[in-house]
Chain A
Amino acid sequence: MTLLRTPLHALHEKKGAKMVPFAGYDMPVQYSLGVLKEHLHTRAHAGLFDVSHMGQVVLRGRSYDAVARALEALLPIDVLNLPRGRQRYGFFTTPQGGVSDDLMLANRGDHIFMVVNAGCKIDDIAYLRRQLGPEITVKEITNRALLALQGPAAEAVLAVHHPMVADMGFMDVETVPLAGAECWVSRSGYTGEDGYEISVPVAAAEDLARALLQHSEVELIGLGARDSLRLEAGLCLYGHDIDTTSSPVEAGLAWAIQKSRRAQGDRAGGFPGEERILTELQEGPKRRRVGLLPHGRAPMREGVPLFASADAERPIGAITSGGFGPSLGRPVAMGYVPADMAVVDTQVFGEIRGKRLPLTVVKLPFTPANFKR
């Protein structure tokens, strides 16, 4: 199968990217700096990420409220009361209370703008079209690239191109002219750092990327560092930390389910899997996603089974994301353990290469979030 290319593909190759297949796209996993330095650069200065493989979707109906009400039947999120010019994290739930994708959705006045995972976008769009009915149009935006500028220098850099972005707060969305084009900008990202995500028309995408790269604070960052950044930030990667078998409550995403959609809320339930999810919200889930710090230097990666003791026979859970955390200078991991073990300072064991090595349950995130509140 031919791999798809983003509008910045040529730029990646010129900049010495090592390209790998990801969700059907030929994507940069790293540039000449390498994963470790790219990660540290983003935390110290600013990183520019091409995330154009992700799905950009516009939902329109009679009014914002009409679209919001229809969409609320598919996710446990308060979409109706999301203020204009604001964005919110959310996820589609399955009838069994699992998660079929996580996403960002924004109230852009008369419509909803949604960003979904690359690997799920075809299914998501088909699902939206099937479920929302003829009153709501679901349009995949394929004439725009998506860039993320992340890191403590992101504001100062982007404000050179338009001062308006400095006034945006975390999760604000605005239409901003950048590189001579109408860009849809949100103050958000998936690295735990302050920053922006910029939906830019394809024709202006490379110009904008090059203009941002002119700043000495900005380096191109590949998917490798994007993964270690989000892992340290304690953020879930769909298909790994969350999937159709994990409920949002187990995954520690209950914070994203607003009161209005919970029991006794004014629009309680009414989303797929409400029975399991509302019950778990009240009674607690059977297992929970936790942060895990391996004691030694050996990274423990996805799939490593977890045990309650060094000689226990049956695993109690598994690591769902793990690797080396460059900002911490040590291995970090996330995984699921039974709820009664999801307590900070609990010791568990991971088995690698036939050896049981200890890990400690810790609070997430590993690195404090650096958002503009």
Chain B
Amino acid sequence: MKYTEEHEWLRIEGDLVVVGITDHASAQLGDVVFVELPETGTIVAKDEEIVVIESVKAASDILSPLDGEIVEVNEALVATPSMVNDDPLGEAWFFKLKAADLGQMDDYLSEAGYKKLIG
């Protein structure tokens, strides 16, 4: 598992990368009430804003951590946004990405590095 400074987690699953947000991020956001996902097949660039997530407090974006193509999105989040609070590291993944260059993963933090970041 890799982590971004934007509080996303990345997990390799076969030849895809699954992306979600950390439990720290979910707690900071508060109750999530709205999720807008990209369409599958979308070609995305690293750091592009591709998911909108709104809590009772505020709206925020999730950035694509890698260049690639969105091959699957978690539609269940649209119907039940509270999943992001209940199970951010498991059921509440946001999208699966076919990475153009898995080498970009190397830029991201290890679990220990992420824990240090959030203190």
Tell whether A pairs with B. Answer: yes
Interface residues of A (CB under 8 A from B): 29-30, 34-37, 224, 228, 297-299, 301, 323-324, 326, 331, 353
Chain B residue with minimal CB distance to A35? B56
The answer, yes or no, to whether B38 is at the interface (CB within 8 Å) is: no
Chain A residue with minimal CB distance to B82? A36
Say yes or no: B34 contacts A298, CB within 8 Å. yes
A-B contact pairs, 9 of them (CB 8 A): A34-B30, A224-B30, A224-B57, A297-B78, A297-B81, A298-B34, A324-B54, A324-B56, A326-B56
Chain B interface residue number, banded: 10 to 19
The answer, yes or no, to whether B33 is at the interface (CB within 8 Å) is: yes
| Apart from the given pairs A297-B78, A299-B54, 16 other A-B contacts in the complex at a CB distance below 8 Å | A29-B57, A34-B30, A35-B57, A36-B30, A37-B31, A224-B30, A224-B56, A228-B56, A297-B34, A297-B81, A298-B34, A298-B36, A299-B33, A299-B34, A324-B33, A326-B56
Q: In whole angstroms, what is the CA distance A353 to B59 when docked?
A: 11
Which residues of A lie under 8 Å from residue B78 when comparing CB positions? 297
Say yes or no: A35 contacts B30, CB within 8 Å. yes
Q: In whole angstroms, what is the CA distance A158 to B54 when docked?
A: 37
A34-B30, A297-B34 are known contacts. Are A353 and B52 too (CB-CB below 8 A)? Answer: yes
Which residues of A lie under 8 Å from residue B36 when comparing CB positions? 298
Which residues of B lie under 8 Å from residue A298 when comparing CB positions? 34, 36, 52, 54
Q: How many A-B residue pairs have CB under 8 A?
A: 40
Q: In whole angstroms, what is the CA distance A228 to B57 when docked?
A: 10
Contact flags (1/0) for B10-49 with A, using CB distance below 8 Å?
0000000000000000000011011010000000000000
Which residues of A lie under 8 Å from residue B30 when comparing CB positions? 30, 34-36, 224
Which residues of B lie under 8 Å from residue A331 when comparing CB positions? 33-34
Q: In whole angstroms, what is the CA distance A36 to B33 when docked?
A: 10
Say yes or no: B59 contacts A323, CB within 8 Å. no
Chain A residue with minimal CB distance to B56? A35
Which residues of B lie under 8 Å from residue A30 when comparing CB positions? 30
Say yes or no: A299 contacts B59, CB within 8 Å. yes
Chain B residue with minimal CB distance to A330? B33
Give 5 nearest A-B pairs by CB, closest first: A36-B31, A324-B33, A35-B56, A297-B34, A299-B54
Say yes or no: B59 contacts A34, CB within 8 Å. no
Which residues of A lie under 8 Å from residue B52 when comparing CB positions? 298, 353
The interface centre, meaning the residue of A29, A30, A34 with most chain B CB atoms within 10 A of its CB, is A34
Give the distance to chain A from B74, nearest Cβ to Cβ, in Å.
15
Which residues of A lie under 8 Å from residue B57 when comparing CB positions? 29, 35, 224
Say yes or no: A36 contacts B56, CB within 8 Å. yes
